[in-house]
Structure 1
Amino acid sequence: MPRSQRNDNFVDQTFTVIADTILKLFPASQREKEAFAYYRDGMSAQGDGEYAEALSNYEEALKLEDNAYDRSYILYNMGLIFASNGDHDKALEHYHQAIDLNPRLPQALNNIAVIYHYKGEQSEDEEAAEEFFTQAAEYWVRAVRIAPNNYIEAQNWLKTTGRADINVFF
């Protein structure tokens, strides 16, 4: 039974009914509708912490989805799962794929920066750590340029470490 038919709480049931109604009325191909159903089920499973089920649904959605913008969000969500499971390299791979499809996805840019910053903090090699911090700075600058009111902690880190001019963001 598809996850969309198993939702227990009122909010999930309401969202499912509204999404199904919109999907029926929206002029989309059957393939696009199936891709969206898998994506929606993946998001629901991810929200419930059922990461294996979510990844399975996202993989099916990727097989069906042709739109680059929509694919970027599927890949982004897959990256979230890999990052939460500690598989940073696989998360980076998915975030980079998402950025390739949608360069204006600041949350993916931010998450890439967070991983590079974490790797810099964990590195015992000063030179390698510095390279990770440089990469983190590059991605945070890109994210902040797209969403200047977000990522305040990253902006503070960029300013206090001298990795970005305070006037860059204004």
Structure 2
Amino acid sequence: MAASTRFPTDRLSSSSIRIRRPLMAAVAATSLALMLAGCQSTTSTDVLKVERAQGSQQNIASLSAVIAANPQDPEGYNVRGSAYGRAGEHRRALEDFNRAIELNPRFYQAYANRALVQRSLGDQAQAAADYNTALQLSPNYDVAYIGRGNLYRQSGRLDDAFRDFNRAIQLDTTDPRAFHNRGLIYQARRQHEKAIEDFSKAISLSPNSAEPYNGRGISFAAMGDDDNAFQDFNTAINLDGKLAESWANQALIYERRGDTARATKSYSQALRLDPNYAPAKTGLARTRGGAKPA
């Protein structure tokens, strides 16, 4: 089970637009105990949830017309780069962010945006350099702390990631990703009460996101509070029924309650959504084989 795989953990931003992109990853675990022993992400899509209209070809065409009329305005390139990022056209996004920075070398939002694209293209070192530059230019830019924190977290540098998420929170960020991601680190450290506080804050800031409910539910389950865990997993399913981890999390609670039939059904639904989701595979094998979860 994973503590959430698709919460929007990164954001392309500009002075006029902020764009969300996806993130976080599944931790293969055969039981709650194993999952909680290592609930950090092991893989990451870094694909943000897309606001389709803003990444549409129609919107990009409109932005291109603005750039044609104002070719020396770096903001136009930054906004269009963000739209390309939403549409998954990373190479074109990178070209626009490069141009924005060429026109304005102190454009800190463009550096942070370019860092996110570079992460998507696998250039982690350059992404880190761009986040560092963004923070040198704007030391209170919470988006860059969160982005760099995610970079650190996914590379296993949890202490560095924790410091960056803390810094964003100290800056009074209203971005739910800072709390959600710090909650994941608390969870990895088995500090579940603190994790629950952070996931709850993320929920208050983004009540329609399924992922922090999954995260909080896992910590509730780790503390033996299956009722609250079950409620959170059900809420996650109601908000987004296409997340395999939500169904696998729900199945685990059914399994712990001895309701093998419902557990099997939920694990099967998780596998329909993601045939490679390891926690659902192992859970289904247990329920069909009569074994009990740890």
Do residues 92 (structure 1) and 196 (structure 2) align?
yes
Change (3 A) 1:48 1:159: closer
Contact 1:31-1:65 at 8 Å conserved across structures: no
Supply the distance in 2 between the matched residues of 1:134 and 1:108 (Cα, whole angstroms): 17
Q: Which residue of 1 aligns with 2:90?
A: none
Q: Which residue of 1 aligns with 2:110?
A: none
TM normalised by structure 2 equals: 0.40
Do residues 45 (structure 1) and 142 (structure 2) align?
no
Tell me the matched-pair count. Answer: 135
TM normalised by structure 1 equals: 0.65
Q: CA deviation at 1:74?
A: 0.5
Percent of aligned pairs sharing the same letter = 19
Q: Render the CA deviation track for 1:54-97: whole Å, top value 9, x for unaligned.
A: 1111121123354x3x2x11000000001011111111111111
Q: Which residue of 2 aligns with 1:13?
A: 125
Change (3 A) 1:54 1:90: same
Supply the distance in 2 between the matched residues of 1:36 and 1:139 (Cα, whole angstroms): 27
Supply the distance in 1 between the matched residues of 2:193 and 2:171 (Cα, whole angstroms): 25
Contact 2:226-2:253 at 8 Å conserved across structures: no
Q: Which amino acid aligns with 1:13?
A: A
Supply the distance in 2 between the matched residues of 1:159 and 1:64 (Cα, whole angstroms): 41
Between Structure 1 and Structure 2, which shows a larger proportion of helix residues? 1
Q: Equivalent residue of 1:49, what SS?
A: coil
Root mean square deviation of aligned Cα: 3.2
Q: Which residue of 2 aligns with 1:153?
A: 248
Bigger shift: 56-65 or 94-103?
A: 56-65
Gaps of 5+ in 1: 24-29, 121-131
Q: Which residue of 1 aligns with 2:234?
A: 141
Supply the distance in 2 between the matched residues of 1:80 and 1:158 (Cα, whole angstroms): 20
Q: Larger Cα Rg: Structure 1 or Structure 2?
A: 2
Q: Which residue of 1 aligns with 2:25?
A: none
Q: Which amino acid aligns with 2:161?
A: A
Supply the distance in 1 between the matched residues of 2:254 and 2:160 (Cα, whole angstroms): 41
Runs of 4+ in 1 over 6 A off after TM superposition: 17-21
